[in-house]
Amino acid sequence: MSKPKFAIYWAGSCGGCEIAFLDIREKILDVDKAVDLVFCPCIMDTKYDDIEKMQDGEIDVCLFNGVIRNEENLHLAELLRKKSKVMVAYGSCASEGCIPGLGNLTNKDEICQYVYEKSPSVGSDKNVMPKTAYKTKSGQLTLPAMFDYVRTLDQVIDVDYKMPGCPPVAEQIWAVIETILSGQLPEKGAHIGVNPKTVCDECNRTKEEKRIKAFVRPHLVKEIDPEKCLLEQGLICNGPATQAGCGALCPQVNLGCRGCYGPAEGITDMGGKLAGAIASIIDSDDPEEIEKITDQIVDPVGTFYRFNLPSSLLGRRVK
Protein backbone atom coordinates (compact mmCIF):
# COMPACT_ATOMS: atom_id res chain seq x y z
CA MET A 1 0.00 0.00 0.00
CA SER A 2 1.44 3.40 -0.97
CA LYS A 3 2.02 6.00 1.72
CA PRO A 4 0.09 9.31 1.81
CA LYS A 5 1.85 12.10 -0.06
CA PHE A 6 2.91 15.10 1.99
CA ALA A 7 4.07 18.58 0.90
CA ILE A 8 5.48 21.57 2.78
CA TYR A 9 5.90 24.92 1.03
CA TRP A 10 7.65 28.09 2.16
CA ALA A 11 6.20 31.31 0.68
CA GLY A 12 6.72 34.83 2.09
CA SER A 13 8.10 33.99 5.53
CA CYS A 14 11.27 33.66 7.63
CA GLY A 15 11.51 29.85 7.39
CA GLY A 16 10.97 29.30 11.11
CA CYS A 17 8.00 27.01 10.49
CA GLU A 18 10.25 24.55 8.63
CA ILE A 19 12.70 24.56 11.53
CA ALA A 20 9.83 24.11 13.99
CA PHE A 21 8.78 21.00 12.06
CA LEU A 22 12.17 19.51 12.94
CA ASP A 23 11.53 20.28 16.63
CA ILE A 24 9.42 17.14 16.84
CA ARG A 25 12.87 15.49 17.10
CA GLU A 26 12.96 11.69 16.78
CA LYS A 27 9.26 11.64 15.82
CA ILE A 28 10.40 12.90 12.42
CA LEU A 29 11.36 9.25 11.80
CA ASP A 30 7.75 8.25 12.47
CA VAL A 31 6.62 10.84 9.93
CA ASP A 32 9.09 9.46 7.40
CA LYS A 33 7.69 5.95 7.91
CA ALA A 34 4.11 7.14 7.58
CA VAL A 35 4.21 9.57 4.63
CA ASP A 36 6.03 10.21 1.40
CA LEU A 37 7.39 13.77 1.40
CA VAL A 38 7.09 14.83 -2.24
CA PHE A 39 7.69 18.58 -2.05
CA CYS A 40 9.69 20.69 0.41
CA PRO A 41 11.97 23.29 -1.25
CA CYS A 42 13.76 23.87 2.06
CA ILE A 43 15.37 20.41 1.97
CA MET A 44 14.52 18.90 -1.44
CA ASP A 45 15.32 19.78 -5.04
CA THR A 46 11.85 18.99 -6.38
CA LYS A 47 11.08 21.24 -9.36
CA TYR A 48 7.84 23.09 -9.95
CA ASP A 49 7.44 21.06 -13.15
CA ASP A 50 7.37 17.89 -11.07
CA ILE A 51 4.37 19.21 -9.13
CA GLU A 52 2.62 20.47 -12.25
CA LYS A 53 2.84 16.96 -13.77
CA MET A 54 1.09 15.39 -10.77
CA GLN A 55 -2.60 14.49 -10.91
CA ASP A 56 -5.04 16.91 -9.32
CA GLY A 57 -5.51 15.91 -5.67
CA GLU A 58 -2.51 13.55 -5.76
CA ILE A 59 -0.92 15.23 -2.72
CA ASP A 60 -2.86 14.16 0.38
CA VAL A 61 -1.84 17.03 2.68
CA CYS A 62 0.02 20.30 2.08
CA LEU A 63 1.34 22.47 4.91
CA PHE A 64 1.65 25.92 3.34
CA ASN A 65 3.45 28.56 5.36
CA GLY A 66 4.14 32.18 4.49
CA VAL A 67 2.18 35.14 3.17
CA ILE A 68 1.32 35.88 -0.45
CA ARG A 69 3.80 38.67 -1.22
CA ASN A 70 4.62 38.12 -4.91
CA GLU A 71 3.58 36.35 -8.11
CA GLU A 72 5.54 33.19 -7.31
CA ASN A 73 3.81 32.84 -3.92
CA LEU A 74 0.42 33.15 -5.62
CA HIS A 75 1.29 30.71 -8.40
CA LEU A 76 2.43 28.04 -5.93
CA ALA A 77 -0.58 28.59 -3.70
CA GLU A 78 -2.93 28.02 -6.63
CA LEU A 79 -0.89 25.07 -7.94
CA LEU A 80 -0.63 23.30 -4.58
CA ARG A 81 -4.31 23.88 -3.87
CA LYS A 82 -5.12 22.15 -7.16
CA LYS A 83 -2.80 19.22 -6.44
CA SER A 84 -3.70 18.76 -2.74
CA LYS A 85 -6.68 17.10 -1.09
CA VAL A 86 -6.13 18.98 2.18
CA MET A 87 -4.59 22.47 2.39
CA VAL A 88 -3.39 23.71 5.78
CA ALA A 89 -2.40 27.33 6.43
CA TYR A 90 0.63 26.43 8.54
CA GLY A 91 1.92 29.11 10.93
CA SER A 92 0.92 32.70 11.58
CA CYS A 93 2.11 34.11 8.24
CA ALA A 94 -0.24 31.92 6.21
CA SER A 95 -3.04 32.13 8.79
CA GLU A 96 -3.01 35.78 9.86
CA GLY A 97 -0.28 37.67 7.96
CA CYS A 98 2.25 37.85 10.82
CA ILE A 99 5.31 40.16 10.71
CA PRO A 100 5.45 40.42 6.88
CA GLY A 101 1.87 41.68 7.08
CA LEU A 102 3.05 44.88 8.76
CA GLY A 103 4.22 45.80 5.26
CA ASN A 104 0.57 46.68 4.67
CA LEU A 105 1.20 49.87 6.63
CA THR A 106 3.00 51.08 3.51
CA ASN A 107 3.14 49.91 -0.13
CA LYS A 108 5.47 48.27 -2.62
CA ASP A 109 6.90 51.51 -4.04
CA GLU A 110 7.71 52.97 -0.62
CA ILE A 111 9.30 49.71 0.53
CA CYS A 112 11.50 49.47 -2.59
CA GLN A 113 12.49 53.14 -2.39
CA TYR A 114 13.72 52.68 1.17
CA VAL A 115 15.46 49.33 0.62
CA TYR A 116 17.23 50.24 -2.63
CA GLU A 117 17.66 54.02 -2.31
CA LYS A 118 17.31 55.43 1.21
CA SER A 119 18.50 52.68 3.55
CA PRO A 120 21.86 53.32 5.30
CA SER A 121 23.05 49.94 4.04
CA VAL A 122 22.74 50.91 0.36
CA GLY A 123 26.28 50.82 -1.05
CA SER A 124 25.59 52.24 -4.49
CA ASP A 125 24.62 55.73 -5.61
CA LYS A 126 23.03 54.39 -8.82
CA ASN A 127 19.61 53.79 -7.19
CA VAL A 128 19.09 50.54 -9.11
CA MET A 129 15.63 49.03 -8.64
CA PRO A 130 15.01 45.29 -9.19
CA LYS A 131 13.37 44.36 -12.47
CA THR A 132 11.06 41.45 -13.23
CA ALA A 133 13.07 40.65 -16.38
CA TYR A 134 16.68 41.34 -17.41
CA LYS A 135 18.41 40.19 -20.58
CA THR A 136 21.97 38.86 -20.33
CA LYS A 137 24.36 37.17 -22.77
CA SER A 138 23.32 33.81 -21.34
CA GLY A 139 19.60 34.46 -21.61
CA GLN A 140 16.83 36.31 -19.81
CA LEU A 141 16.72 36.38 -16.00
CA THR A 142 13.39 36.84 -14.24
CA LEU A 143 12.12 37.74 -10.79
CA PRO A 144 8.55 37.35 -9.55
CA ALA A 145 6.74 40.69 -9.36
CA MET A 146 6.07 41.98 -5.86
CA PHE A 147 2.45 42.77 -5.00
CA ASP A 148 1.47 46.11 -3.53
CA TYR A 149 0.29 44.51 -0.29
CA VAL A 150 0.40 41.24 1.67
CA ARG A 151 -2.42 38.69 1.70
CA THR A 152 -3.04 35.62 3.83
CA LEU A 153 -3.41 32.19 2.24
CA ASP A 154 -7.20 32.05 2.60
CA GLN A 155 -7.49 35.43 0.87
CA VAL A 156 -6.27 33.86 -2.39
CA ILE A 157 -7.30 30.17 -2.27
CA ASP A 158 -9.67 27.85 -0.44
CA VAL A 159 -8.05 26.67 2.82
CA ASP A 160 -9.23 23.60 4.74
CA TYR A 161 -7.57 24.25 8.11
CA LYS A 162 -5.52 26.89 9.90
CA MET A 163 -2.65 26.03 12.23
CA PRO A 164 -1.44 29.30 13.82
CA GLY A 165 1.75 30.04 15.73
CA CYS A 166 5.02 31.87 15.10
CA PRO A 167 6.08 29.18 14.84
CA PRO A 168 3.67 26.49 16.04
CA VAL A 169 5.16 24.64 19.02
CA ALA A 170 6.48 21.10 18.53
CA GLU A 171 3.78 19.41 20.63
CA GLN A 172 1.11 21.15 18.57
CA ILE A 173 2.74 20.11 15.28
CA TRP A 174 2.98 16.48 16.33
CA ALA A 175 -0.63 16.43 17.55
CA VAL A 176 -1.80 17.78 14.20
CA ILE A 177 0.31 15.27 12.26
CA GLU A 178 -1.18 12.42 14.32
CA THR A 179 -4.68 13.74 13.62
CA ILE A 180 -3.99 13.97 9.90
CA LEU A 181 -2.47 10.49 9.72
CA SER A 182 -5.43 9.02 11.62
CA GLY A 183 -7.79 10.34 8.97
CA GLN A 184 -10.04 11.74 11.72
CA LEU A 185 -10.00 15.32 10.47
CA PRO A 186 -12.14 18.00 12.10
CA GLU A 187 -14.80 19.99 10.31
CA LYS A 188 -13.45 22.09 7.45
CA GLY A 189 -12.45 25.60 8.49
CA ALA A 190 -11.29 24.56 11.96
CA HIS A 191 -8.21 25.92 13.68
CA ILE A 192 -6.14 22.85 14.48
CA GLY A 193 -3.57 22.38 17.24
CA VAL A 194 -5.15 25.08 19.43
CA ASN A 195 -8.01 25.36 21.92
CA PRO A 196 -10.84 27.88 22.33
CA LYS A 197 -9.38 29.39 25.49
CA THR A 198 -7.09 32.42 25.68
CA VAL A 199 -3.42 32.61 26.65
CA CYS A 200 -4.59 34.18 29.94
CA ASP A 201 -6.46 30.94 30.67
CA GLU A 202 -3.23 28.96 30.18
CA CYS A 203 -1.09 31.39 32.15
CA ASN A 204 -0.38 30.50 35.80
CA ARG A 205 0.35 34.06 36.93
CA THR A 206 -1.85 35.48 39.69
CA LYS A 207 -4.55 37.76 38.32
CA GLU A 208 -6.34 40.36 40.42
CA GLU A 209 -8.24 43.52 39.48
CA LYS A 210 -6.16 45.22 36.82
CA ARG A 211 -5.88 48.98 37.40
CA ILE A 212 -2.66 50.65 36.30
CA LYS A 213 -1.21 54.16 36.11
CA ALA A 214 1.60 53.58 33.62
CA PHE A 215 2.89 51.25 30.89
CA VAL A 216 6.54 50.21 30.86
CA ARG A 217 8.77 48.22 28.54
CA PRO A 218 10.34 45.01 29.93
CA HIS A 219 13.97 46.11 29.59
CA LEU A 220 13.24 49.22 31.69
CA VAL A 221 11.90 47.23 34.66
CA LYS A 222 14.49 46.47 37.34
CA GLU A 223 12.65 43.44 38.67
CA ILE A 224 9.56 41.77 37.19
CA ASP A 225 7.43 39.80 39.64
CA PRO A 226 7.44 36.22 38.24
CA GLU A 227 4.12 35.37 39.93
CA LYS A 228 1.98 38.45 39.21
CA CYS A 229 0.04 39.14 35.99
CA LEU A 230 2.25 41.13 33.62
CA LEU A 231 -0.54 43.55 32.70
CA GLU A 232 -0.97 44.41 36.37
CA GLN A 233 2.71 45.36 36.37
CA GLY A 234 2.19 47.74 33.45
CA LEU A 235 3.74 45.38 30.89
CA ILE A 236 1.82 44.99 27.63
CA CYS A 237 0.53 41.44 27.23
CA ASN A 238 -1.81 40.37 24.44
CA GLY A 239 -2.95 37.27 26.33
CA PRO A 240 -6.56 38.45 26.90
CA ALA A 241 -7.41 38.21 23.18
CA THR A 242 -4.96 35.57 21.93
CA GLN A 243 -5.93 31.98 21.12
CA ALA A 244 -4.42 29.40 23.46
CA GLY A 245 -2.27 26.47 22.43
CA CYS A 246 1.33 27.51 23.04
CA GLY A 247 1.25 26.89 26.78
CA ALA A 248 1.72 30.59 27.60
CA LEU A 249 5.43 30.31 26.85
CA CYS A 250 6.27 34.03 26.70
CA PRO A 251 4.74 34.97 30.08
CA GLN A 252 6.74 32.13 31.63
CA VAL A 253 9.94 34.06 30.85
CA ASN A 254 8.61 37.51 31.87
CA LEU A 255 7.61 38.56 28.36
CA GLY A 256 4.10 39.63 27.48
CA CYS A 257 2.22 37.49 24.98
CA ARG A 258 2.75 38.92 21.50
CA GLY A 259 -0.38 37.37 19.99
CA CYS A 260 1.13 34.99 17.44
CA TYR A 261 -1.65 32.39 17.80
CA GLY A 262 -4.20 34.84 16.46
CA PRO A 263 -7.56 35.96 17.84
CA ALA A 264 -9.36 33.75 20.35
CA GLU A 265 -12.72 32.26 19.45
CA GLY A 266 -15.44 34.85 18.93
CA ILE A 267 -13.08 37.79 18.35
CA THR A 268 -13.49 39.48 14.96
CA ASP A 269 -10.70 42.04 15.17
CA MET A 270 -7.85 41.15 17.53
CA GLY A 271 -6.20 44.58 17.51
CA GLY A 272 -9.45 46.33 18.36
CA LYS A 273 -10.19 43.85 21.14
CA LEU A 274 -6.72 44.30 22.63
CA ALA A 275 -6.87 48.08 22.46
CA GLY A 276 -10.20 47.97 24.29
CA ALA A 277 -8.88 45.55 26.91
CA ILE A 278 -5.82 47.71 27.58
CA ALA A 279 -7.91 50.89 27.78
CA SER A 280 -10.23 49.29 30.33
CA ILE A 281 -7.48 48.80 32.93
CA ILE A 282 -6.20 52.39 32.99
CA ASP A 283 -6.77 53.81 36.47
CA SER A 284 -7.99 57.28 35.58
CA ASP A 285 -11.09 59.19 34.55
CA ASP A 286 -9.16 62.23 33.36
CA PRO A 287 -8.94 62.31 29.51
CA GLU A 288 -5.58 64.12 29.55
CA GLU A 289 -4.06 61.65 31.98
CA ILE A 290 -5.47 58.71 30.00
CA GLU A 291 -3.88 60.10 26.84
CA LYS A 292 -0.49 60.47 28.58
CA ILE A 293 -0.69 56.87 29.83
CA THR A 294 -1.66 55.41 26.43
CA ASP A 295 1.11 57.45 24.75
CA GLN A 296 3.54 55.26 26.70
CA ILE A 297 2.61 52.34 24.42
CA VAL A 298 5.27 52.34 21.73
CA ASP A 299 3.92 51.58 18.24
CA PRO A 300 0.26 50.69 19.01
CA VAL A 301 -0.42 49.21 15.55
CA GLY A 302 2.74 47.09 15.68
CA THR A 303 1.78 46.02 19.20
CA PHE A 304 -1.88 45.10 18.75
CA TYR A 305 -1.75 44.05 15.07
CA ARG A 306 1.73 42.57 15.09
CA PHE A 307 0.60 39.19 13.77
CA ASN A 308 -2.77 39.83 12.18
CA LEU A 309 -2.96 43.10 10.24
CA PRO A 310 -3.77 41.56 6.80
CA SER A 311 -6.56 39.41 8.31
CA SER A 312 -7.99 42.21 10.47
CA LEU A 313 -10.80 44.63 9.71
CA LEU A 314 -8.11 47.22 8.91
CA GLY A 315 -6.35 44.96 6.43
CA ARG A 316 -3.98 47.53 5.00
CA ARG A 317 -3.37 51.22 4.58
CA VAL A 318 -5.23 52.72 1.65
CA LYS A 319 -4.16 56.08 0.26
In this predicted structure, what is the pLDDT of residue 319?
Answer: 64
In this predicted structure, what is the pLDDT of residue 169?
Answer: 87
Q: Which helix (H) or strand (E) holds 274?
A: helix 270-280
Query: For 161-190, what is each residue's pLDDT tens digit?
Result: 999 999 998 888 888 888 887 878 889 999
Residue 1: pLDDT band by 50, 70, 90 thresholds?
A: low
Query: For 218-262, what is each residue's pLDDT tens digit?
Result: 888 889 999 999 999 999 999 999 999 889 999 999 999 999 999
| Cβ-based burial of 181 (10 A; exposed 0-12, middle 13-18, buried ≥19) | middle
* Residue closest to 272 by CA, chosen among 310, 230, 305, 236: 305
Name residues whose C-beta falls within 8 Å of residue 149's C-beta, 6 or more positions apart in sequence: 103, 104, 107, 108, 310, 316
- Res 216 pLDDT > 70: yes
Homologous superfamily of the 5-99+150-182 domain (CATH) = NADH:ubiquinone oxidoreductase-like, 20kDa subunit (3.40.50.700)
Q: How far apart are CA 19 and CA 81, in angstroms?
A: 23
Query: For 252-295, what is each residue's pLDDT tens digit?
Result: 999 999 999 999 988 989 999 988 888 888 888 888 998 898 88
Q: What is the mean pLDDT of the chain?
A: 91
Domains of the chain, by residue range, sit at 5-99+150-182, 104-147, 195-304
The DSSP symbol for 242 reads B
